[in-house]
Structure 1
Amino acid sequence: MPKDNPKVSLDALIPREAFEVQGQQSQMILNNIPMIQIRNLEQKDFFYPFLRKPDFQRETNEWDAQKICDFIESFLNGDLIPAVILWRSDSGYFFVIDGSHRLSALIAWINDDYGDKNISNKFYDGYITEEQKNAAQEVRKLIKDKIGSYQDYESSTQHLDKIDQKTLERARNLGSLGIQLQWVGGNASKAADSFFNINQKAAPISPTEMRLLKARNKPNGVAARAIMRSGNGHKYWSEFSQDKQDKIEKLAQEIHQLLFEPKLKNPIKTTDVPMVGNLSTSQKNEFILEFVNIVNNIEAENELDLNDDPTGENTVKFLTNCQKLAQRINTNDPSSLGLHPLIYFYTHDSRYRVGSFYGVVSLVLHLGKNKSYDKFIKCRKDFEFLIWQHDDVVPQIVSKSSAVKAREKVKDFYLTIVEKLTQGVDRKNVMKEIIAEKTFGSLKIKSRVNTNETQSKTFSRETKAAAFIRDALPKVQRCKICGGYLHSHSISIDHKTRKEDGGLGNLDNAQLTHLYCNTTFKN
C-alpha cells in the first residue's frame, strides 16, 4: 500500500473562535467587502487579525506540499480560484465557512510559516513535532525551487528591470488580483448549517473528524483533542476553570509522551521504540479517539449518548484513566507491567500493529478488572515467545473487521494463550491447539518471508529493520522474576534476598526486574 505524502499543518494560521453563542449579525451583507487582496493576509493588515474558524472546524492539515505549491502557483498565474465563503459575527470576526485551506495556504506563503515559524510557534506554545517541522521544510523547499517566496516577490518590485518576464507578470498579478468573497447572511445557527452543508458536499469531512466535531463538548472528544496536540494548540477546554485547564494540559502532555516518545526513526536501530509507531495525522487522530473510548468503556456507536462536560470534571477523569492505563503498560510507575513495545506492538520487520495495541489495552483492562495480573505474570515468558513468533496471527484476526472492532477477539486470543499455558500445555503446542479449535476463524501459521529471494542489490527499509531486530533482541535483558523482556523505560532493581530477610544493598544481591514484578507480584 503506497504511503501518503506527509500533510502540512496550517492549523495555526487562522485561529478558532466559538460563534454558536453569538446573536444576529450587526452588519448588513452589502457592507462587507467583495474581495480580499494579498496584502490583506499580512499580519499587520486590518483584515487578517480578525479572521477566525469556527471552533468545531476540522484541523487545517489535509494538504500536502505539492497541493499547497500548486495552489499558490495558480493564484500567482491568475487562474480562477473558487470564492471563499465568510460569515461576519456581531463581535466583528470574519468566520471562514468554506476555504480555510485556500486562505491558510496563502497566509503561510505570505508569512513564511508552514506550521513551524512564529505564528505556529505561538499557537502551539513552542511544541512543534519533528513530523510537522519536516513537512514544513518540504513545502518551503518546493516553493523556493518552483515559484519563489513571497519575500522574493516583494524584493523584486524594487528591481523591475532586472527580473525575468514570468516573475514580472506574477508580481503584477499580486498587485491586482484577489480572492472573491461570498458572505453568508443570518445568525450563528444558519452559519453553522451552511458550514456543515458545504463541507459535506464539496470536501467531505472524514468520519473521525465528524465524530470529533460532534463530540466537541463531550469528555471523550475534548480528551482526545488534548492528547492529539500534547495539551497545546487550540484550547477546546478554555471554558473550564483554570485548575481543570491545567490538569487537562498536564495529563494530555504526559499521555502523549508515554504513547509517542521516543520518536520512531526508520529503519530502526534501537530496541527503545515507542508504544505507538509512526502514523499519519488522520490515523493518529483516529487512534487517539479510539484509545480514549476503549479505556473509558465508550463504544463508538454510543458516543453521542455521552453527556456534555460543561465543567471539565469528566474530561479530567477520562484523561486520568488513559494516563493510568499507559502507565500500566510501560513506564517507570510502580504499577507498570513493562510490556516491551517491540514484542507486543511491532512485527519482525518493524511494522506497527494497531490491532495488537487495541488488543493489549483490552487485555490489560480485563486483567485489572478480574485481578488476574499474577496469572499472566506466571506464564509471561512463554506468552511473549508465542506472540512474537506468531506476529502474523493478530492481523489475521483483525483482517475481517476493523482494528477497534476486533479488539475483543484479539484480547480473547491473548487470554486463550494465557489459559493454555496455565493449564500446562507446552508452548510448542499452544498455537496448534488454537488453530485446530477454530475459535478465531481459519488461522494459518505463516512461514517467514525469505529475504534472500529478492533480486534487488539494495536492502529495503524492512530488511534493515529485520536484521537489526534479529541480532538485537537476543541481547535484551529479561526480568529475573518472570523471564519477560525488559524495556529501558520500565526497569526496577530488586533485592534477591528481601531487606526484611536480611538482604543487603550490594551488587550480588541486585537483580533487574519489571516494576510490577518487584513491587506487587513478588510480595
Structure 2
Amino acid sequence: MPRHLVNMDALIPREDFEVHTPEPVTEPSILSTTMKITDLGPESLIYNVLRKPDFQRETANWTPEKVAELVRSFLEGDLIPSVILWRSPRSGNIFVIDGAHRLSALVAWVHDDYGDKHTSMRFFDNTIPVEQKRAADGARKIINDSVGSYAELSSVLRNPGTSDKSKLRLARNLSAFALHLQWVVGGAEKAESSFFRINQQATPIDQTELDMIKARRKPNALAARAFIRAGTGHKYWSDFEVDTQEEIERIAKEVYELMFRPALETSIRTTDLPAAGRGYSSDSLRMVFELVNFVNNLTPDMWQRPAKAPGQRAKEGVASPLLADDGDGSRTIEFMRAVRKAASRIAGNEPGSLGLHPAVYFYSATGRFQPAAFLATVALVVELEKKKRIAAFTDVRAAFEEFLVTRKYFLNQIVRNYGSMQRAVGPIHVMHRTVFDCLTRQLAGDEIVVDLKRQPSLRASLKEITDDDRQHGRNFSTETKNMIVLRGVLEGATRCGICGARVPLGSASIDHRLRKADGGTGMPENGQIAHPYCNTGYKESRHAQQRGSQAALFAMEDNG
C-alpha cells in the first residue's frame, strides 16, 4: 500500500534568504524563547512573518498518523524538540531553519488546512491531486477523532460546563503550552550553513532533494520543480519576467497531463494508466529530475561540480562545461521544451506520438509502476529518433511489445537485481535495444532470449519462469489482483489498425483505411483506430516507399 503523505507546503511561505546583502545581527536577548499556539493563527503577527528559506525541501514528508501524533504530543505536554529560527534584520521575516514539519503540523491543525483548504488551494492554483486530498482527509479524521479540532477545543474553553472532561483538559493545556525556540545568531550565510548542517543529521535530506536544493537556481532543477507540481506550488521561477513565468507554468501543466494523468490508484481498475505513475510520490521527483537531465544531455559533473578555489588548477580530462544558474528563465524553458518533446513522443495524441501503452512498457507484471522502465523507454525512443529508426521500430512494434508482455517478469528480475531507479535504466535499455535488433534480424521467442543472456548486464538477471515456479496462497494478494487486472487490460487493449500494437485510449486517433487522397470516405467502415504517428508519419513514409517500389518495378518492365 502506498503511503499518502500530507502536503503542508503551502502553510509557511518560502522566501529568498537574500544571502548577498550585508545585514546587522539581531541580538538574541530580544528574541522570544517560546511560541504559543495562538501565534500560529491566520491573524497572528508572528505567523504572518514566518518564512521557509527558498532552498527548504517541501514540507510534504509526513504521513497523516505522524501529523496527528505531533498535535497529540503537543496537547499532552510531551517533549517536542525546539524549533530553530533565524530572523532577517533586513526584511524582519523569521525563517524556519529546523522544525518546518513540526511547525507546519500545528499550523495545519489551527487552520484546519492539511493541504486541501483555503491557503493550500490558493497555493496550488486550485489543483489538488487526489492523493493529496486523501492524505488531508486522513489526517483530519485521525486528529478530530483523537483530540478534536482546534476550533472545537477553543470552543470548549468558552463553554467549560457543557464539555467533556478529557476535551476540557486538552483545551486548558492548549492555553498553557508553547513550543520552545532556539535562534541562529549571525547573518544569512551563517543561517544557510546551519540549515544544511542540521538537516543532514537526525533526518537527512533525500539525496535528490539535496542536489536540487544546491542547484536550485540552475535550469534543470527549476524545470523539475515546475513539472512535479504542474507549475503550481511555490514558484521557484518568480524572479523571471511575467511572460517567462507563464510559459514555464504552461509547459509544466502540459507535461504533467501527459505523464501523470489520470491519477494512479492503489489497485488497477482501469485501462487508462498514467505514463509516469503516481505524480504524488517519493520517487516521482527523483524520476523527473533524472528525466530532465537525461533529455538535456546533462551529467552530474555539469551541475554538481563545486566552484574552483582561487589559484586551484582545473583537473585534466574534465571537458564538460559547468551548467550556469539561469538568470532569465530562457534555459529553463529550453530544457522544459526538450522534455515536452520527449513526453509527447511517448504519450498524448500529437501527430508524432507513438502512443506507447503504459501497461506494456512502464508497469511490472504485478502492476507496479517502474520509474527505471519509464526512463529506459524514453532513452530508447530518443535513440531511435537520433538514428532515424522510428519507422523501422514501427515495422516490428507489435512483435516487440508481445515479447515484453509475455516476459514481463524480465522487468521484475532486472529491477530486483539493480534497484528501481537509475542503476536499472541501463540494463532495461539494453534489453529493449537487443529485442529490437533481434526482431529486425527476424529472430523470435527463445532466440531472442538467448541473445539477451549474452549481454553482460543481463546475464545474471534473466530467468524464464514456468507455472511451477509461481507460488500463491489461498487468497488473492493485492499484487495478484493487479496481475489479473493488468493481464485483462493487455489482452483486451485496442489494437492499432496499422502496426497492430496496443493503443492507449488517450493516444487514439482515427485513421482512414483507404486514404482520402485515394478516394477514401468518412464512412464508419473506412475508419480504424491508430497511433498518431502510425496515422501520419509512418503511414505516409510507407506509402511513399511503396510508390517508389512500384515506380522502380515499372521502370524495370519498360527497360525489359
Q: What TM-score does the superposition give when structure 2 sets the normalisation length?
A: 0.88
Q: Is the 8 A contact 2:25 2:185 kept in 1?
A: no
Say if 2:395 is the partner of 1:378. yes
**Distance in 1 between the 2:94 and 2:111 partners?**
20
Say if 2:509 is the partner of 1:511. no
Specify every segment of 5 or more residues in structure 1 that has no aligned partner in the other structure, as ranges: none
Residue aligning to 2:463: 445
Residue aligning to 2:309: none
C-alpha displacement of 1:23: 3.1
Q: Which amino acid aligns with 1:434?
A: L
Residue aligning to 2:284: 284
**Distance in 1 between the 2:364 and 2:418 partners?**
20
Residue aligning to 2:434: 416
Residue aligning to 1:24: 23
**Distance in 1 between the 2:105 and 2:156 partners?**
21
Q: 1:9 to 1:25 in 2, by over 3 A?
A: farther
* 1:323-472 aligned within 5 A: 323-402=340-419, 403-436=421-454, 440-447=458-465, 454-456=472-474, 458-472=475-489
Q: 1:270 to 1:5 in 2, by over 3 A?
A: closer
RMSD of Structure 2 on Structure 1 (CA): 2.0
**Distance in 1 between the 2:235 and 2:60 partners?**
17
Q: Which amino acid aligns with 2:120?
A: S
Q: Is the 8 A contact 2:264 2:278 kept in 1?
A: yes
Q: Is the 8 A contact 2:359 2:490 kept in 1?
A: no
Residue aligning to 2:68: 69
Q: 1:471 to 1:73 in 2, by over 3 A?
A: closer
SS in 1 for 2:495: coil
C-alpha displacement of 1:320: 0.6
Q: Is the 8 A contact 1:451 1:463 kept in 2?
A: no
C-alpha displacement of 1:193: 0.9
Residue aligning to 2:200: 200
Q: 1:200 to 1:433 in 2, by over 3 A?
A: closer
C-alpha displacement of 1:521: 1.1
* 1:113-124 aligned within 5 A: 113-124=113-124
Q: Deviations over 1:105-158 (max 9, x none)?
A: 111111111111111111111111111110011111111111111111111012
Q: Which amino acid aligns with 2:8?
A: L
Q: Is the 8 A contact 1:237 1:245 kept in 2?
A: yes
Q: Is the 8 A contact 2:8 2:108 kept in 1?
A: yes
Q: Is the 8 A contact 1:345 1:352 kept in 2?
A: yes
Q: Which amino acid aligns with 2:60?
A: N
Say if 2:289 is the partner of 1:271. no
**Distance in 1 between the 2:301 and 2:534 partners?**
38
SS in 2 for 1:394: helix
Q: Which amino acid aligns with 1:62?
A: N
**Which moves more between the two structures, 422-431 or 177-186?**
422-431
C-alpha displacement of 1:332: 0.7
**Distance in 2 between the 1:262 and 1:112 partners?**
28
SS in 2 for 1:152: helix
Q: Which amino acid aligns with 1:343?
A: V
C-alpha displacement of 1:437: 5.8
C-alpha displacement of 1:452: 9.2
Q: Which amino acid aligns with 1:321?
A: A
C-alpha displacement of 1:462: 2.5
Specify every segment of 5 or more residues in structure 2 that has no aligned partner in the other structure, as ranges: 305-321, 541-560
**Distance in 1 between the 2:356 and 2:168 partners?**
61
* 1:160-179 aligned within 5 A: 160-179=160-179
Identity of aligned residues (%): 41
SS in 1 for 2:510: strand
Q: 1:437 to 1:281 in 2, by over 3 A?
A: closer
Q: Which amino acid aligns with 2:401?
A: E
Residue aligning to 2:126: 126
For 2:9, which of 3, 8, 11 is the aligned residue?
11
Q: Deviations over 1:238-258 (max 9, x none)?
A: 011111100100111111111
**Distance in 2 between the 1:246 and 1:279 partners?**
22
**Distance in 1 between the 2:472 and 2:423 partners?**
36
**Which moves more between the two structures, 394-403 or 244-253?**
394-403
Q: Which amino acid aligns with 1:56?
A: F
Q: 1:44 to 1:160 in 2, by over 3 A?
A: same
Q: Which amino acid aligns with 2:62?
A: W
Say if 2:313 is the partner of 1:295. no
Q: Is the 8 A contact 2:147 2:170 kept in 1?
A: no
SS in 2 for 1:52: strand
**Distance in 2 between the 1:451 and 1:134 partners?**
38
C-alpha displacement of 1:347: 2.7
**Distance in 1 between the 2:78 and 2:444 partners?**
71
SS in 2 for 1:33: coil
Q: What TM-score does the superposition give when structure 1 sets the normalisation length?
A: 0.94
Q: Is the 8 A contact 1:12 1:119 kept in 2?
A: yes
**Distance in 2 between the 1:414 and 1:323 partners?**
22
Q: Deviations over 1:224-249 (max 9, x none)?
A: 00111110010000011111100100
**Distance in 2 between the 1:499 and 1:162 partners?**
79
SS in 1 for 2:199: helix
* 1:135-174 aligned within 5 A: 135-174=135-174
**Distance in 2 between the 1:391 and 1:454 partners?**
18
**Which moves more between the two structures, 319-328 or 469-478?**
469-478
SS in 2 for 1:415: helix
For 2:328, which of 292, 311, 320 is the aligned residue?
311
Residue aligning to 1:60: 59
Q: Which runs of 4+ in 1 moved over 4 A?
A: 436-439, 448-453
C-alpha displacement of 1:73: 1.4
**Which moves more between the two structures, 222-231 or 72-81?**
72-81
Q: Is the 8 A contact 1:355 1:394 kept in 2?
A: no
Q: 1:444 to 1:192 in 2, by over 3 A?
A: closer
Q: Which amino acid aligns with 1:288?
A: V
C-alpha displacement of 1:438: 5.2
SS in 1 for 2:181: strand
Q: Is the 8 A contact 1:494 1:512 kept in 2?
A: yes
Q: Is the 8 A contact 1:292 1:322 kept in 2?
A: yes
Q: Is the 8 A contact 1:16 1:53 kept in 2?
A: yes
Say if 2:502 is the partner of 1:485. yes
Q: Which amino acid aligns with 1:98?
A: D
C-alpha displacement of 1:413: 1.8
Q: 1:466 to 1:282 in 2, by over 3 A?
A: closer
**Distance in 2 between the 1:354 and 1:394 partners?**
11
Q: Which amino acid aligns with 2:257?
A: Q
SS in 1 for 2:52: strand
**Distance in 2 between the 1:472 and 1:351 partners?**
14
For 1:501, which of 518, 524, 548 is the aligned residue?
518
